Amino acid sequence: MAATTSSAEARTPGEGQEEPEAAELPVAPERDAAGLGRRRAAGFVAPALILIALFLVLPAVWTLYLGATDYRLTGIPAIDPSFVGLDNVTKALGDSGFLDSLWLTLLFVLGSAVIGQAGLGFALAWWMRDRKGWVKGLLEALVMLSWILPSSVVAFLWIAFLDRDGGTLNELLRTPGTAWLLDHPMLSIIIYNVWRGSAFSMMLYAAALGNVPASHLETARLAGANGWQILRDVVFPRIRGHVLTNLLLISLWTFNDFTPFLITAGGPDGKTETLPVFIYKTALGSGQLGYGAAISFLMLLINLVVAVVYLRLLGQKKKSRKTAKSPGESRAPEEEAA
């Protein structure tokens, strides 16, 4: 439901009106401009679908199956795994290692993605919105650079930056001997991830802010609204969809991110052991493949729940906007009505 509406929304308003009707029909031949026909269309889609089925869907289903067995890397269960049903899942829910790791993952997602990346990304996009000059260019280049460098390189850069003896941060702050990665491990990887990922939010919000008409901002300013009121009443309602899409994507990416492993390897003492790292250690470190797969399955479920919640919110926004739009396209900013 939400999926259909949101992809129709992504198009330009010019062809927006024909979309909802077309969505009801299984095939709309008049749109089939190239004369593909269903059979040839299937032929065009097939190679991609086969690869996806084989290397994406099959491993996912296999994970489900493994999660219901006691499969291990070594020993008797490695040769002849037996079916244990939901035992692994119940075991995980009572396993303090898993629960701790889940908590750390939530902290990581909330701190670095939802608050950090989205907040800093928006602030950057807002500041850059109609600015030119070398400061903007330099800042934009640096933010993008931190996003496109390979993660192996970036991990090493941060290890060097935070190093206890002679790391650049300690040299700058004149705090030699402070072991950031040992004393504040979680804070370190959260800040690292804000640095690493803010570019995506910045770009997405920059595109979104381009859709906010300058005249609306001007009107609000003349009406005496301060910066915060303008953001809340004029800007935010217009970019709500972008905000939600952005939050969905960065939450999912951060939730499944493995790079903290390259910096802290889950340490010290499991203090940065987010779920991907926990699975890696359980499945390959201690060889409990079945149990690891069951945790993967739980992770998949959490991802799904997060995605469904966001898509629901997105669907609500579509409905409310449609009803609000009907009286007239050029709707006055909220605080004028108030």
Partner 1 sequence: MTHSSDPVRALLRGVGAYVLVALALAFFALPLLWLASAPFDKHPGITASVPEFTLDNFRRLWDNPNAVNSLASSVILAVGSAVLVVGLSALAAYALSRVRIRGRDGLLYALLLLSSIVTGTAAMVPIFLLAAELNLVDSYLGVILVLTGGLLPAAIFILKDFMDTTPRSYEESARVFGASPLRVMKDVVVPVVRPGLATVGVWSVAQVWGNFLIPFLLLRSPDKSPAAVVMYTFYTEGGQPDLALISTFSLLYSLPVVLMFLFVSRRYGFRFHGGIKA
Decide whether 89 or 139 has the Cβ nearer to partner 1. Answer: 139
Given a contact cutoff of 8 angstroms between Cβ atoms, the answer to whether 212 and 234 are in contact is: yes
DSSP secondary structure letters along 144-203: HHHHHS-HHHHHHHHHHHT-TTT-HHHHHHT-TT--HHHHSHHHHHHHHHHHHHHHHHHH
Stretch that binds partner 1, among 83-91, 101-109, 251-259, 329-337 (CB under 8 A): 251-259
Name the residue nearer to partner 1 (CB basis): 190 or 204. 204
Q: Does 172 bind partner 1 (CB under 8 A)?
A: yes
Among 16, 78, 86, 151, binds partner 1 (CB under 8 A): 151
Q: Of 12, 74, 326, 330, which lies in the binding site for partner 1, with binding defined by CB under 8 A?
A: 12
Listed residue (250, 246, 276) closest to 261, CA to CA: 276
On the CB side of 140, CA atoms within 13 Å amount to: 15
- 8 Å CB contact between 289 and 71: yes
* Of residues 115-144, those binding partner 1 (CB under 8 A): 120, 123-124, 127, 135, 138-139, 142-144
Question: Beta partners for 209?
Answer: none
Closer residue to partner 1 in complex, CB, 99/160: 160
Q: Which of 13, 17, 21, 48 binds partner 1 (CB under 8 A)?
A: 48
Answer whether the bond into residue 268 is a cis peptide, omega within 30°: yes
d(CA 206, CA 208): 5
For the segment 274-303, give every residue that binds partner 1 (CB under 8 A). Answer: 276-277, 279-280, 283-284, 289, 292-293, 296, 299-300, 303
Please tell me whether residue 163 binds partner 1 under the rule CB under 8 A: yes
168 binds partner 1 (CB under 8 A): yes
Instruction: Report the distance separating Cα 303 and Cα 16, nearest Å.
Output: 31
Span interacting with partner 1, options 95-103, 109-117, 257-265, 324-332, rule CB under 8 A: 257-265
CB neighbours of 123 closer than 8 A, spacing ≥ 6?
Answer: none
**Distance of closest approach, residue 204 Cβ to partner 1, in angstroms:** 6
Question: Interface residues for partner 1 in 21-40 (CB under 8 A)?
Answer: 22-23, 25-28, 31-38, 40
Q: At its nearest, how many Å lie between partner 1 and the CB of residue 238?
A: 11
Q: How big is the site for partner 1, counted in residues (CB under 8 A)?
A: 110
Q: Determine the residue type at 273.
A: E
